[in-house]
Chain A
């Protein structure tokens, strides 16, 4: 298995532009997560899906952020308009829970820089 795939790996954009981050979870995993990591705030959960349905989006910072999962093999995280404070590494992870425990498999991340 190729693991969780994220694209692009790096993104540099200017303030005000729309940014779309993409994720392909591991086949068969029915949970998908989006995280953001910064030095100041650490690793934060933004939103997660179960069977393509958003379960908890309480971590999404503002209305400028939106996430979709149109099918089991694809998800997007969109920021519109982007701001410099959105600069961070964005991770996607997927999971196939077993009981109350779970192992999340993380992608390599997308490093976003908003100028």
Chain B
């Protein structure tokens, strides 16, 4: 089971780009990297998923280096509404090991 390590908290200001890095040194060949966002009093919401290199969608980008031992979630030009907890998950869904949410990173966006 690939263990993930991410910062407990981060602060940013509106309009800035935020990069949250997750370390997963023992990632396995079949493992995917998935990021979720959770607002207070809501369930987590899928943001982005990737296997290697770079993935981009309308919300974020995910950068994965060649060795896949880490990944970086990039949020462009954050706003106050991006204040949330961000979770990095690593695993192979069919192996049943992509279901462990760590402590997450609490992002605070300030005006």
Q: Do A and B assemble together?
A: yes
Chain A interface residues toward B at CB < 8 A: 4, 33, 35, 42-45, 48, 55-56, 91, 93, 95, 97, 100-109
Residues 70-92 of B at the A interface (beta carbon under 8 Å)? 87, 92
Contact with A along B76-111 (1 / 0, CB 8 A): 000000000001000011111011111110000000
A4–B34 Cα gap in the complex (Å)? 20
Report B4 CB to chain A, min CB distance, Å.
Answer: 12
Closest to B44 in A: A106
Report A61 CB to chain B, min CB distance, Å.
Answer: 16
> Can you name 20 extra interface pairs (CB under 8 A) apart from A56-B96, A100-B32, A109-B42?
A35-B101, A42-B101, A43-B44, A44-B101, A48-B99, A55-B96, A91-B43, A93-B43, A97-B93, A100-B95, A101-B32, A101-B51, A102-B34, A102-B93, A102-B98, A103-B49, A104-B44, A105-B46, A106-B42, A109-B41
Chain B interface residues toward A at CB < 8 A: 30-32, 34, 36, 41-46, 49, 51, 87, 92-96, 98-104
Which single member of A4, A33, A42 contacts B99 (CB below 8 Å)?
A33
Which single member of B30, B41, B44, B99 contacts A100 (CB below 8 Å)?
B30
* Residues on B with beta carbons closer than 8 Å to the beta carbon of A108: 42-43
A-B pairs under 8 A by CB, number? 58
Describe B's contact surface by its main secondary structure.
loop
A48–B95 Cα gap in the complex (Å)? 13
Closest to B43 in A: A106
The 9 listed contacts between A and B (C-beta, < 8 Å) are A43-B87, A44-B101, A97-B93, A100-B30, A100-B31, A101-B93, A102-B98, A106-B42, A109-B41
